[in-house]
């Protein structure tokens, strides 16, 4: 991010279009210190803002309908099967974790009575156990009590390989969950656990009711009616769900936070595209909130002039990247393409991988498309700052890519496409349907053509691409293409679980219903060994070094090509308050506290 863009953000803060806290988070993500950021704002004449909005409701409800737009619509409402953030967010309307992550990455109690610490006796000094005290008086939407039995069940349910839960990595290393009483649980880990707040916290920590899911354990997990008709503890009760279209909820009259929520109903509308979602909030005011505005920055600035809403941003660790398939997407083995029993015809050649990395013009993608919404990056782990590698550099160099391919024996044919040993550098590059992603594809395709690589572009509608539908061939987990592009991130202020997506045991396959998170099917013994070492290393300096090494292995082996470190970007009505989006959790982590200013 250059000086001009920083001055633009400061102007947004001064105009009230960006909160002081959001600006601070963005600057901290760039490596600046808190005092320096405060000094920048003070010198610019921006007054300090209070951490609370001062709104104290005197009763629950009365706020009418809250209308939010998720242009990638949810396809299911079980958080344990949520492949993408759209399904996590749809689930978060109804389900809750023990604790959420606020914009600074701190734990915020939700279903927990308090956050465990060493001082209050909840956290063991050796990292081998943590004791959670649950809020009392919390009930499920059907009136049943929420107890420790639900925690025990969620651990058993998620850790069972037969369930094929995408949350399994967060629960797999728990040895047991001890029931100390009806509202006190002790999690005992198999090894010291520095990231003890992965299980039951944040987007991966939503808790489902034992009494409704217990009959659907293991292989029967996909048959549960409650996968589509959630019964949670959240601020809203389920009313209706049309997969790929609409989620509707009504106020929970027994919600466990006094005088919350403010709104009587919520409607999450899906479909369309990011630009139309932005327009519906920023320009026309038809909706109150729009998620994930992956829209060219110049368009957002123009829409903000409509005066109905503003763009809010938060810094996390999300990265837009291109993943390279290590298996053959065009060969079927035992009814499965992209099988680990195959290898890719040419992407396993280090020279081809290196050339592709040189052919991604990250600078152009940043400057021409995203602007203040992100920054070019060479790293897969971009936040928190202590885990960001200083060993990597990105370079866009078509001439160098040609030299690398030529030296490796990939010769141009008369049609300009390089080949070797009967194989031609022709690949399919897929991503979700989105104008900014299609522009990025075009930039990469043009550079590849100059290096003798023929690229066929494929775009898949978002509701399909990010779906967990095991019958659909076009999902990102199936990866029936040579390379594919999308954004993902830690989802919590620690990259341990995030980086599990490149471990051997997370390979997506037919056997695990393609719920494994290693879509690239890359396997590396050194990577697996370092990941396991980081998982139980309690020295924070040593652990950070191990996680940096994981990042560097992904970059050096060109398993993924990072393009942009993306901010969380939302469109917010000027009348909607207390949204306070976090880059480490669901956009809806604070939904119970949202209200509309009259």
Burial string for 455-484 (b: 16+ CB within 10 Å, else e) reads beebbbebbbbbbbbeeeebbbbbbbbbbb
pLDDT score, position 50: 38
* Burial of residue 248, with CB atoms counted within 10 A of its CB: 0-12 exposed, 13-18 middle, 19 or more buried: middle
Please name the fold of domain 319-491+558-566: Dipeptide-binding Protein; domain 3 (3.10.105)
**What are the helix (H) ranges across 210-296?**
210-213, 274-282
**CB of 231 within 8 A of CB of 142?**
yes
Query: Residue 11: pLDDT above 70?
Result: no
pLDDT score, position 272: 87
Residue 51: half-sphere exposure toward Cβ, Cα within 13 Å: 4
This prediction's pTM: 0.79
User: Which tens digit of pLDDT belongs to each residue from 345-404?
Assistant: 999 999 999 999 999 999 999 999 999 899 999 999 999 989 999 999 999 999 999 999
- Phi then psi for residue 207, to 5 deg, are -110, 130
Q: What is the mean pLDDT of residues 14-35?
A: 63
Q: Which residue's entry shows tokens 């560097």? A: 552
Task: Return the structure tokens found at 265.
Answer: 């109903």
DSSP 145: B
**CB of 256 within 8 A of CB of 113?**
no
**CB of 352 within 8 A of CB of 425?**
yes
pLDDT score, position 9: 76
Tell me which residue of 16, 24, 21 sits closest to 6, measured CA to CA: 24
Q: pLDDT-derived band of residue 6, with 50, 70 and 90 as boundaries?
A: confident
User: Which tens digit of pLDDT belongs to each residue from 131-168?
Assistant: 999 999 999 999 999 999 999 999 999 999 999 898 99
Q: What is the mean pLDDT of residues 400-419?
A: 98
Query: Residue 17: pLDDT above 70?
Result: no
User: Which tens digit of pLDDT belongs to each residue from 516-563?
Assistant: 999 999 999 999 999 999 999 999 999 999 999 999 999 999 999 999
User: Which tens digit of pLDDT belongs to each residue from 188-207?
Assistant: 999 999 999 999 999 999 99
Burial string for 154-178 (b: 16+ CB within 10 Å, else e) reads bbbbbbbeebbbbbbbbbbbbeebe
User: Which tens digit of pLDDT belongs to each residue from 417-460?
Assistant: 999 999 999 999 999 998 999 999 999 999 999 999 999 999 99
Contacts of residue 536, Cβ cutoff 8 Å, sequence gap at least 6: 127, 191, 192, 193, 194
Instruction: Tell me the C-alpha to C-alpha distance, in Å, between residue 388 and each of 3, 301, 537, 551, 561.
Output: 22, 30, 18, 8, 16
Neighbours of 104 (CB within 10 A): 15
Burial string for 494-520 (b: 16+ CB within 10 Å, else e) reads bbbbbbbbbbbebbbbeebbbbbbbbb
Q: How far apart are CA 402 and CA 411, in angstroms?
A: 10
The β-bridge partners of 375 are 565
Residue 200 φ/ψ region, left for φ over 0, alpha for ψ in the -120 to 50 degree band, beta for the rest: left
Percent of the chain with pLDDT over 70: 93
Tell me which residue of 353, 459, 344 sits closest to 410, measured CA to CA: 353
Tell me which residue of 95, 98, 130 sits closest to 111, measured CA to CA: 98
Contacts of residue 25, Cβ cutoff 8 Å, sequence gap at least 6: 103, 104, 314, 315, 583
Q: pLDDT-derived band of residue 2, with 50, 70 and 90 as boundaries?
A: low
Pairing of strands 265-270, 423-424: unpaired
Task: Return the structure tokens found at 458.
Answer: 């494929």
Neighbours of 226 (CB within 10 A): 16
Contacts of residue 591, Cβ cutoff 8 Å, sequence gap at least 6: 92, 93, 234, 235, 236, 261, 266
Instruction: Tell me the C-alpha to C-alpha distance, in Å, between residue 578 and each of 33, 201, 275, 418.
Output: 25, 21, 24, 55
Q: Which residue's entry shows tokens 């191990």? A: 546
Pairing of strands 184-189, 174-181: antiparallel
Average pLDDT, the chain: 92
Distance of CA 167 to the CA centre of its chain: 13
DSSP 491-548: SSS--TTGGGGGSGGGB--TTTTT--SBTT----HHHHHHHHHHHH---HHHHHHHHH
Q: How far apart are CA 452 and CA 450, in angstroms?
A: 6
User: Which tens digit of pLDDT belongs to each residue from 455-511?
Assistant: 999 999 988 998 878 889 999 999 999 999 999 998 889 999 999 999 999 999 999
Domain 60-74+235-314+571-598 matching CATH 3.40.190.10: the answer reads: yes
User: Which tens digit of pLDDT belongs to each residue from 311-357?
Assistant: 999 999 999 999 999 999 999 999 999 999 999 999 999 999 999 99
Q: What is the mean pLDDT of residues 82-109?
A: 93
Q: What is the mean pLDDT of residues 36-57?
A: 61
Domain with CATH 3.10.105.10 in the chain: 319-491+558-566
Query: Residue 23: pLDDT above 90?
Result: no
Distance of CA 335 to the CA centre of its chain: 30
Domain with CATH 3.40.190.10 in the chain: 60-74+235-314+571-598
**CB of 268 within 8 A of CB of 244?**
no
Residue 366: half-sphere exposure toward Cβ, Cα within 13 Å: 22
Q: How far apart are CA 16 and CA 572, in angstroms?
A: 12
The β-bridge partners of 573 are 309
Query: Residue 28: pLDDT above 90?
Result: no
pLDDT score, position 33: 54
């Amino acid at each position: 991010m250059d000086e001009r863009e920083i001055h633009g953000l400061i102007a947004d803060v001064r105009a009230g279009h960006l909160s002081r806290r959001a600006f601070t988070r963005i600057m901290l993500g760039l490596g600046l210190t808190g005092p320096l950021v405060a000094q920048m704002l003070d010198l610019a004449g921006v007054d300090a803002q209070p951490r609370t909005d001062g709104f104290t409701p005197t009763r629950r409800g009365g706020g009418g309908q809250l209308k939010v737009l998720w242009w990638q619509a949810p396809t299911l409402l079980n958080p344990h099967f949520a492949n993408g953030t759209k399904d996590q967010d749809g689930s978060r309307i109804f389900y809750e974790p023990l604790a959420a992550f606020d914009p600074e990455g701190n734990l915020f109690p939700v279903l927990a009575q308090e956050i465990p610490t060493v001082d209050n006796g909840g956290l063991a000094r050796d990292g081998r156990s943590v004791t959670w005290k649950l809020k009392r008086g919390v009930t499920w939407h059907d009136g049943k009590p929420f107890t420790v039995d639900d925690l025990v069940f969620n651990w058993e349910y998620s850790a069972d390989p037969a369930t094929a839960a995408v949350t399994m990595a967060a629960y797999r290393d728990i040895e047991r969950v001890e029931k100390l009483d009806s509202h006190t649980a002790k999690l005992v880990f198999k090894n010291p656990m520095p990231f003890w707040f992965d299980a039951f916290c944040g987007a991966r920590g939503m808790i489902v009711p034992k009494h409704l899911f217990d009959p659907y354990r293991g292989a029967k997990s996909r048959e549960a009616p409650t996968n589509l008709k959630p019964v949670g503890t959240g601020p809203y009760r389920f009313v209706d769900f049309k997969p790929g279209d609409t989620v509707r909820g009504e106020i929970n009259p027994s919600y466990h936070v006094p005088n919350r929520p403010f709104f009587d109903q919520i409607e999450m509308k899906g479909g369309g595209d990011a630009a139309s979602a932005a327009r519906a909030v920023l320009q026309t005011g038809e909706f109150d909130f729009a998620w994930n505005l992956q829209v060219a920055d110049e368009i957002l600035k123009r829409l903000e002039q409509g005066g109905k809403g503003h763009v809010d941003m938060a810094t996390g660790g999300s990265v837009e990247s291109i993943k390279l398939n290590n298996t053959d997407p065009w060969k079927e083995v035992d009814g499965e393409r992209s099988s680990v029993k195959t290898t890719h015809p040419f992407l396993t050649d280090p020279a081809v991988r290196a050339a592709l990395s040189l052919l991604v013009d990250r600078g152009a993608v940043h400057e021409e498309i995203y602007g203040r919404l992100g920054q070019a990056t060479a790293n897969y782990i971009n936040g928190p700052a202590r885990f960001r590698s200083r060993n990597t550099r990105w370079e866009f160099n078509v001439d160098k890519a040609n030299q690398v391919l030529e030296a490796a024996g990939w010769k141009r044919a008369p049609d300009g496409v390089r080949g070797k040993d009967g194989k031609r550098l022709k690949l399919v590059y897929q991503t979700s349907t989105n104008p900014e992603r299609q522009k990025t594809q075009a930039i990469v395709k043009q550079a590849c053509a100059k290096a003798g690589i023929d690229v066929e572009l494929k775009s898949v509608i978002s509701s399909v691409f990010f779906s967990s539908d095991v019958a659909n061939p076009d999902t990102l987990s199936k990866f029936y293409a040579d390379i594919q592009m999308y954004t993902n991130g830690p989802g919590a202020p620690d990259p341990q679980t995030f980086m599990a997506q490149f471990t051997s045991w997370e390979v997506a396959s037919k056997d695990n219903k393609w719920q494994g998170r290693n879509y690239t099917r890359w396997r590396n013994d050194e990577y697996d060994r370092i990941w396991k070492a980081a998982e139980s290393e309690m020295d924070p300096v040593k652990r950070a070094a191990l996680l940096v090494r994981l990042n560097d292995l992904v970059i050096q082996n060109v398993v993924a090509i990072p393009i942009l470190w993306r901010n969380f970007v939302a469109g917010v009505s000027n009348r909607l308050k207390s949204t306070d989006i976090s880059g480490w959790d669901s956009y809806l982590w604070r939904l119970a506290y949202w209200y509309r200013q009259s």
